Structure 1
């Protein structure tokens, strides 16, 4: 087997779409397809089912993926070890994270890491699903749910709070109908911004169920999205009320917290990495940096008021 073909196989397995993998590899889709066929011929088995949804691994493809990921990890760890022997804290660290935390917390707070460790490069990878460390999708993942895997190193990063928010324009627009403001018993009557319920990848993102005790009737969403960033902009535009992480919404002075004393939702972030990755000094440096970062910004992530 040709290692270059294995790298193409890995990228298609991760992207699940030929066109996406081709872009990441800076190759033509036809070339990627041809190389995949060549690989399948060399191992004398079908590795992917070609469907309308994309390229889905066959059982044989899953077996090859596990071995290929191990080969890739071993090669990366060997190269990183060589770099570490020659120069401490030198190398690339890929952080896989959800879009809200990545865009509104991690990314704005990486300057100090760069200044302290200029030879560490960071790739911030945003996911709207579980980050598969076992498939070498990232070196460190920040997960919204504690992984069940016992083969990974898992450490609780922090708790974070979410609360109800609406834009001041939305409140002003509804002032005539609700002159006393938005009361708890009126919440279900308002327009809501939510996740698309049947497309949530983890129950940790299902916030609406926790609001049922406060609602006089079933909540109806006027706008739903699979993206928390889209929800944020919808709420910001005055489209309705929604649940947002405090570390995101509290940075926008035009968003108003609603019933913060009565309604608070708490969730947790978890750090995840492979044991071999954790032994590398540059990966461990970023790991420790992230742990200190949430301590330094505890008031933003988990406000007490």
Structure 2
């Protein structure tokens, strides 16, 4: 049967919360146990909700109930209804305790490895019901199309459906291993040291442009657009690299000393902002709100 719409229309909250429990737990029995209902009641209420929507929400398989495409389409509306209900029914401490479900987080790979993944043990301890799906790739996911719930971005995105908060700013600096920095002494020319830089697919990236402009004759020891590989190679002494200054707190890298003649070029080192972005419709959903607050707390103090 075809869905009348992607919204929940006149659906009852009691039926919607059953839909959410089934979506999160994957079976009628587990959903019923979570809500204090017997399996037959859960099944009957799910059937009633599907009838009111004119659409099947779950496929029955040997592994359990699998959400259909329609279920994924109405999920944000169901979670928004849940958030509105909870704002009326309980206080903030209850919201923290009840936060559960999957939060899909979009983060650039280097930042994910250095700053996000190390915090996940603390997030898990605080919110054991939350499960993180981390998209640590260079592609930009579209939050307005629900490709992710939250994102960390270096450029502020625009859009009426988005909520954005700035977590900080960081300047890129020239750095290398302690031994490389010691051997280089006070650098007199940027092309006097070997460099690690971005591959040609990111030649327009500001750090890559800076190096091409100020060290055109440099010995390029490594080109790679995988930032963690750049960092690892620099820690092992392969060459110098440009890196946001905050990364020096978590990696074994040392800023290069340079002659006063290079101060003007160093003043052109790029600067990055860090923005936390979410979809307005999901901002007050407990699982999203909990991860949002956690990331603000963890990253604003470090960035």
Report the TM range for the smaller structure's normalisation: 0.5 to 0.7
1:2 CA drift (Å) = 8.7
Equivalent residue, structure 1, for 2:280: 275
Structure 2, gaps ≥5 residues long:
4-67, 90-96
1:97 CA drift (Å) = 0.5
Equivalent residue, structure 2, for 1:256: 254
SS at match of 1:127: coil
Structure 1 residues 155 and 69: alpha-carbon distance in aligned structure 2, compared to 1, 3 A threshold: farther
Counterparts of 2:111 and 2:69, CA distance in 1: 27
The answer to whether the 8 Å contact 1:164/1:243 transfers is: yes
Counterparts of 1:69 and 1:244, CA distance in 2: 42
CA offsets per residue over residues 21-68 of structure 1, 9 Å max, x none?
xxxxxxxxxxxxxxxxxxxxxxxxxxxxxxxxxxxxxxxxxxxxxxx9
The answer to whether 1:163 aligns with 2:173 is: yes
1:108 CA drift (Å) = 0.9
CA offsets per residue over residues 135-164 of structure 1, 9 Å max, x none?
322100111211133332222222123221
What TM-score comes out, normalization by structure 1 length? 0.62
1:170 CA drift (Å) = 3.3
Structure 1, gaps ≥5 residues long:
4-67
Counterparts of 2:202 and 2:131, CA distance in 1: 33
The answer to whether the 8 Å contact 2:107/2:136 transfers is: yes
Structure 1 residues 90 and 246: alpha-carbon distance in aligned structure 2, compared to 1, 3 A threshold: same
Equivalent residue, structure 1, for 2:147: 137
Counterparts of 1:71 and 1:220, CA distance in 2: 55
Counterparts of 2:281 and 2:170, CA distance in 1: 29
1:296 CA drift (Å) = 2.7
Question: How many pairs align?
Answer: 222
Equivalent residue, structure 1, for 2:56: none
1:103 CA drift (Å) = 1.1
Equivalent residue, structure 1, for 2:207: 207
Query: Considering only aligned residues, what root-mean-square deviation do their CA atoms show, in Å?
Result: 3.3
Counterparts of 2:240 and 2:137, CA distance in 1: 25
Equivalent residue, structure 1, for 2:133: 123
The answer to whether the 8 Å contact 1:69/1:136 transfers is: no
The answer to whether 1:88 aligns with 2:124 is: no
Equivalent residue, structure 1, for 2:75: 75
Q: Kindly report which structure 2 residues correspond to 1:1-305, keeping only aligned pairs within 5 A, or say none.
A: 72-78=72-78, 81-82=81-82, 88-171=98-181, 175=183, 181-183=185-187, 185-199=188-202, 205-210=205-210, 215=214, 218-219=217-218, 221-253=220-252, 255-259=253-257, 262=263, 263=266, 265-297=270-302, 301=303
Larger radius of gyration: 2
SS at match of 2:98: coil
Deviates more, 1:106-115 or 1:79-88: 79-88
Counterparts of 1:70 and 1:2, CA distance in 2: 9
The answer to whether the 8 Å contact 1:97/1:131 transfers is: no
The answer to whether the 8 Å contact 1:194/1:224 transfers is: yes
1:287 CA drift (Å) = 1.0
The answer to whether the 8 Å contact 1:164/1:244 transfers is: yes
